A = this chain, B = another copy of it.
Amino acid sequence: MKELLGEFEEFLLKNLPKIDSFHPHFEAAMQDMLIAGGKRFRPMLLLSIVKAKKPLLLENSLKVALAIEFLHTYSLIHDDLPAMDNASLRRGFPTLHIKYDEVTAILVGDALNSESFNLIATASLHNDIKIELIKLLGHNGGLNGMVIGQAIDCHFEKQKLELEKLEFLHLNKTAKLIAASLKMGAIIASCGEKIEEELYSFGLDLGLLFQIQDDIIDELESSEEAGKTTQNDSFKNSFVNLLGLEEAKKSADDLAQKCLERLEVFDDELKDSLKDLLVSYINRHKKYNS
Contacts and interface: CB of A to CB of B under 8 A. Distances in A.
Given A24-B155, A127-B131, A155-B24, A147 B83 contact: no
Nearest to A109: B110
A81 B110 contact: no
A172 B120 CA distance: 22
A126 to B, nearest CB: 9
A121 B131 contact: yes
A118 B147 contact: no
A218 to B, nearest CB: 22
Contacts of A84: 103, 106
A134 B117 contact: yes
A144 interface: yes
A138 B121 contact: yes
A282 to B, nearest CB: 28
Interface string A138-153: 1101111001101110
Interface in A176-195: none
A9 interface: no
Contacts of A144: 19-21
Interface residues of A, number: 57
B101 A114 contact: no
A214 interface: no
A160 interface: no
Contacts of A101: 83
A78 interface: yes
Most buried by B among A84, A101, A104, A115: A115
A26 B148 contact: yes
Most chain B beta-carbon neighbours within 10 Å: one of A20, A74, A135, A151: A151
A104 B81 CA distance: 13
Interface string A111-130: 11111011011100001101
17 contacts: A20-B144, A21-B144, A21-B148, A21-B172, A106-B106, A110-B113, A110-B147, A113-B113, A114-B137, A114-B138, A114-B143, A115-B138, A118-B135, A118-B138, A121-B131, A121-B135, A127-B130
Interface of A: 17, 19-24, 26, 30, 71, 74-75, 78, 81, 83-84, 101-104, 106-107, 109-115, 117-118, 120-122, 127-128, 130-131, 134-135, 137-139, 141-144, 147-148, 150-152, 154-155, 165, 168, 172
Given A23-B155, A78-B110, A114-B138, 17 more contacts: A20-B144, A21-B168, A22-B152, A83-B101, A83-B106, A103-B151, A107-B151, A107-B154, A110-B113, A114-B141, A114-B142, A114-B147, A115-B142, A115-B143, A117-B117, A122-B135, A134-B134
